[in-house]
Amino acid sequence: MRSRQRNAIRPSEITPESVFRTRRQLLAAAGFAGAGALLTAARIRADDVPASYRRLQGLTRSRLSVDETPNSFEDITSYNNFYEFGLDKEDPQRNSGGFHPKPWTVTVDGEAEVTGEFGFEDIIRPHPLEERVYRFRCVEAWSMIVPWTGFPLGDLLKRFKPTSKARYVAFETVYRPAEMPGQRWPTLDWPYGEGLTIAEAMHPLTLMVTGVYGVELPNQNGAPLRLIVPWKYGFKSIKSIARISFTEQQPHTTWSDAAPHEYGFYANVNPRVDHPRWSQAAERRIGTSLFTPKQPTLLFNGYADQVASLYRGLDLTREF
Amino acid sequence: MSSTLTQRRIRLVGKPLAFALALLPLSALLAGAAGVRQFSLGANPVEHIQDTTGIWALRFLLLTLAMTPLRLATGQPWPLQFRRMLGLFAFSYAALHFANYLLLDRTLNFAEIIPDITKRPYITIGFTALVLLVPLAVTSTAGWRRRLGAHWLRLHRLVYLIAALACWHFWWQVKKDITEPLVYAALLAALLGVRAWRERAHQRL
């Protein structure tokens, strides 16, 4: 069964390179390439990363990177919200040592021609890995700059040939209470679920992530496979993905189910729409000094030029 | 004779020891700020200071309220001698909590601070608790106690309301898991319950 499905995706189904290149040129021309992007990538210091992490080979540096200095590997791996491993920011690093990200399979189902269970290697093999430095904004009003490694989610989704009925993509985190101590408590309705519209999922900025700082993703950051949707609050970027479903209806998502008045389906970063309990106008950049003021939050986390068109005609104060 | 000795012991050993212990959370924060690795303030130091000072303000409030039941339980008068010190530590940690919010978190940006206090209920509640603590801290001296006479006790009953507001403030700012605020609220309910029960017992007499 498994081996048949393994062959279900053929190399011919990968985005042709010419299309891939053209798209990149278009994006660059659109003005968000940033001449400094390469310099930023060069500033990422590999010696920050403990030698125990496996380095990822053959990375290309993405022109979609922002020109800001990344946070340290230490900050990125020690300050995490990942309730599957506990509620405190330090818990994921502390409690994720017993999690085994390999071997890994992802179930793909719903409105697509190609469905089934796919091994991690089958998922990532056809895709060239890129390093992309992105802004990351948590709904709790803090932010980081992170050098992710991954490939566009859209390139993967196309391989499954979504049908015309597929209007949304739903994602689910793995459910392993034996390895994820936080799942032994009904803090949230496990397994964690998230979702995107098909247009959001296909957007070139939406990244399927396998690494950070040029090494394999640490457990606390969502090993082995997570999403990054850089213009949305962090909770949309689901970790440790075990299921991808193409759906006709807007999927249930964990945080908007838990507190719909506080966390909406879209969760676009928006300084003008406050969380009911705090302002979203400013954010604290992790890794700055005690005396550094909060900085203003940017609409769509600074990616408005690229993504605002996705929400034309939508009232962002209601669809928050 | 033995009671004088106990007085001496409380003054020379008990109180300095309690004072030193109560300064430990603050010392850990200062060590962290000074860069001592074991006391690191973590990736988000402002938040860490905010959470630490807040939780200790609440703990000291509850400790203060625990002294009367402790006296009832032990039949000893000494717990009451720690009440003022514990109460003043509750106020001090609450003041640091607020100062951290004003200075480090909001960098005195009153365009944000004022709407925070007026529009966000959990901040309104926390701020109210702090404001109500001020007269209690000011009138904590022997001189004020004498001058206020019977009013002093009535005024200081405000601490029941303050502790309830502090628990509520903590409860309301938690994103999802309310276990911890629930524990503190239950402790407060027990501490106030002892008083209510004693009050009823007195009335029956």
Beta strands in A161-270 (DSSP E): 168-173, 193-197, 207-212, 215-216, 226-228, 241-247
pLDDT of residue B112: 87
* Of A50-54, A194-198, B88-92, the least confident: A50-54
Percent of chain A with pLDDT over 90: 79
Query: Does A249 or B178 have the greater pLDDT score?
Result: A249
**Does the CB of B172 have a partner CB in chain A at under 8 Å?**
yes
Comparing A190 with A19, the larger pLDDT belongs to A190
Which letter does DSSP use for residue A10 in this model? -
pLDDT in tens, A63-72: 999 999 999 9
- Residues of chain B in contact with residue A74, where contact means CB-CB under 8 angstroms, are 43
Strand-by-strand arrangement of the A168-173 sheet = A116-119, A105-110, A241-247, A168-173, A193-197
What ipTM is given for this predicted complex? 0.83
Say what percent of chain A tops pLDDT 70: 85
Name the residue among A75, A78, A290 with its Cβ closest to that of B46: A290
> To which residue do tokens 């001496």 refer?
B8
Closest chain A residue to B50, measured at CA: A290
Structure tokens at B49: 């200071």
Provide the CA B117 distance to its chain's centre, in angstroms: 20
Say what the pLDDT of residue B200 is: 87
Q: Contacts of residue B46 in chain A, CB cutoff 8 Å?
A: 284, 290
d(CA B154, CA B171): 27
Mean pLDDT estimate for chain A:
89
pLDDT at B115 over 60: yes
Q: Which two tokens stand for residue A120?
A: 């991690």
User: How does pLDDT run across A263-289, given as a tens digit for each residue?
Assistant: 999 999 999 999 988 899 999 999 999
Q: Is the pLDDT of residue A36 over 70?
A: no
Q: How far is residue B30 from each of residues A318, B26, B45, measured CA to CA in Å?
A: 44, 6, 11
Residue A268: its H or E element: none
**Could you report the per-residue pLDDT of B36-46, keeping only the tens digit for each?**
989 999 999 99
Q: What b/e sequence results for A1-22 when a residue is b if at least 16 CB atoms lie within 10 Å of its CB, and e otherwise?
A: eeeebeebbeeeebbeeeeeee
Q: CA nearest A281: which of B109, B118, B46?
A: B109
Q: Is it the case that residue A29 has pLDDT exceeding 70?
A: no
Decide if A188 and B116 are in contact by the 8 Å CB cutoff: no
Q: Please name the residues between 65 and 124 in chain B that touch chain A, using a CB distance below 8 Å.
A: 104-107, 109, 112, 115-116, 120, 122
Please indicate whether, in this complex, the C-beta atoms of B177 and A185 are within 8 angstroms of each other: yes
Instruction: Give the global pTM.
Output: 0.85
Tell me the average pLDDT across A202-210: 98
- The interaxial angle of helices B179-204 and B45-74, nearest 10 deg, is 30
Q: Taking CB atoms and an 8 Å cutoff, what residues of chain B touch A92?
A: none
Contact A284 B46 (CB under 8 A): yes
Residues of A in contact with B105 (CB under 8 A): 284, 294
Q: What DSSP assignment string belongs to B127-179?
A: HHHHHHHHHHHHTTSHHHHHHHTHHHHHHHTHHHHHHHHHHHHHHHH-SS--H
- Confidence at residue A30, expressed as pLDDT on a 0 to 100 scale: 47
SS3 A207: strand
Is pLDDT above 90 for A226? yes
